[in-house]
């Protein structure tokens, strides 16, 4: 309720104070909205989605995930031309800065709630709000997202292999949805100019989570229940607890790794009968073993962009460390779940 109150206020203000952002709309993304949140609902991801007619996408490295964006001739979005950098590329940095300024100004006008904007983290695509909610604090990541009405780039061609799991038709429907790009700095760039954007599939991930069965009625009120989300929540919880203990060693690993491994597992075991509710411990072990295998090989392909390895060799120390920690848990009956 608190988050909605604050975000609604901000969106209204953003739309009215700045013509560049007048078309913005919100989309809840991340674990809370996929119903796989494991601890207190104290962290929210809100995408502020901005429709753009057409853009030219140029890959900026070999991951197939990061792009430079330029406008085709005579764009409809004249109001965005002021965000171009000297090379004519759409600057994520400039857009985020403008949005951040509006938000910083506007939170002063929110009544009865204490909201602050967290200090900017270099390269982060989010503007983080902290909402006082005694005795705790709620953090809301606001993520600037462009919604482009055009077909997905070639790097996504071999991804989203859900034919056996959710069906060919569903895959086609997903691939016909808009393309989302978030203002994310590509760390591999020698000079960080803040003009790279990363593909985002949050809207598709949310749809897959919320309709995760190979049969249409899986986990519906009168349908059979599966343990897919139960398995995901367990591994997320395990990672969260381990990260609390060894923050430094595991800073390179995040819940998106766990979620990606989960989607791959759903493809490897596509039937609802592979995830019977009563088989939670067995299914969790299978999924965990697959994740461990990815860690050992330092290889976890992005679910939508197969050429993009999320566990790059330079993060091998983190992968090895996590692998050892998980194996210790596995061999000792998961003491962390008993704590």
Q: Is residue 210 part of a domain?
A: no
CA–CA gap between residue 181 and residue 196 (Å, rounded): 10
110 and 57 in a common domain: yes
Residue with tokens 């070639």: 154
Q: Is residue 208 part of a domain?
A: no
Question: Which residue from 328, 310, 233, 252 is spatially nearest to 39, judged by alpha carbons?
Answer: 233
Domain that holds residue 242: 215-337
Model-level pTM greater than 0.85?
A: yes
Question: Which residue from 159, 196, 152 is spatially nearest to 304, judged by alpha carbons?
Answer: 159
Total domains in the chain come to: 2
Tell me: pLDDT of 191 over 70.
no
Q: Look at 131-135, 209-213, 233-237, 330-334 and tell me which has the smallest mean pLDDT.
A: 131-135
Q: Look at 26-35, 117-126, 252-261 and tell me which has the smallest mean pLDDT.
A: 26-35
80 and 6 in a common domain: yes
Q: What average pLDDT does range 329-339 have in this prediction?
A: 89
Average pLDDT, the chain: 90
Report pLDDT digits (tens) over 250-290.
Answer: 999 999 999 999 999 999 999 999 999 999 999 999 999 99
- pLDDT at residue number 32: 67
- pLDDT at residue number 145: 94
CATH number at residue 152: 3.30.460.90
Q: What average pLDDT does range 91-120 have in this prediction?
A: 90
76 and 11 in a common domain: yes
């Amino acid at each position: 309720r608190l988050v909605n109150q604050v975000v609604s206020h901000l969106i209204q203000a953003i739309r009215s104070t700045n013509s560049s952002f007048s078309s913005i709309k919100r989309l809840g993304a991340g674990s809370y909205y996929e119903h796989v949140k494991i601890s207190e609902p104290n962290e929210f991801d809100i995408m502020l989605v901005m429709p753009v007619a057409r853009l030219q996408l140029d890959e900026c490295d070999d991951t197939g995930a990061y792009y430079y964006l330029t406008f085709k001739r005579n764009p409809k979005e004249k109001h965005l031309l002021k965000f171009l950098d000297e090379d004519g590329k759409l600057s994520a940095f400039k857009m985020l800065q403008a949005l951040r300024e509006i938000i910083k100004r506007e939170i002063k006008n929110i009544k009865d709630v204490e909201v602050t904007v967290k200090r900017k983290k270099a390269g982060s695509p989010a503007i983080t709000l902290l909402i006082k909610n005694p005795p705790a604090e709620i953090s809301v990541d606001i993520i600037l997202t462009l919604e482009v009405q055009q077909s997905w780039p070639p790097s996504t061609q071999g991804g989203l292999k859900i034919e056996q799991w959710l069906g060919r038709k569903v895959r086609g429907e997903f691939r016909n949805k808009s393309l989302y790009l978030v203002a994310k700095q590509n760390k591999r760039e020698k000079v960080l100019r803040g003009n790279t954007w990363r593909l985002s599939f949050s809207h598709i991930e949310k749809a897959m989570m919320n309709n995760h069965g190979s049969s249409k009625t899986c986990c519906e009120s009168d349908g059979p229940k599966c343990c897919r989300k139960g398995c995901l929540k367990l591994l997320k919880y395990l990672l969260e607890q381990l990260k609390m203990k060894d923050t430094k060693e595991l800073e390179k690993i995040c819940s998106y790794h766990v979620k990606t491994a989960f989607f791959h597992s759903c493809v490897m075991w596509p039937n609802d009968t592979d995830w019977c509710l009563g088989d939670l411990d067995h299914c969790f072990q299978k999924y965990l073993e697959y994740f461990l295998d990815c860690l050992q090989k330092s290889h976890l392909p992005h679910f939508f962009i197969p050429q993009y390895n999320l566990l790059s060799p330079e993060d091998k120390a983190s992968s090895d460390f996590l692998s050892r920690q998980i194996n210790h848990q596995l061999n000792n009956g998961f003491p962390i779940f008993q704590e």
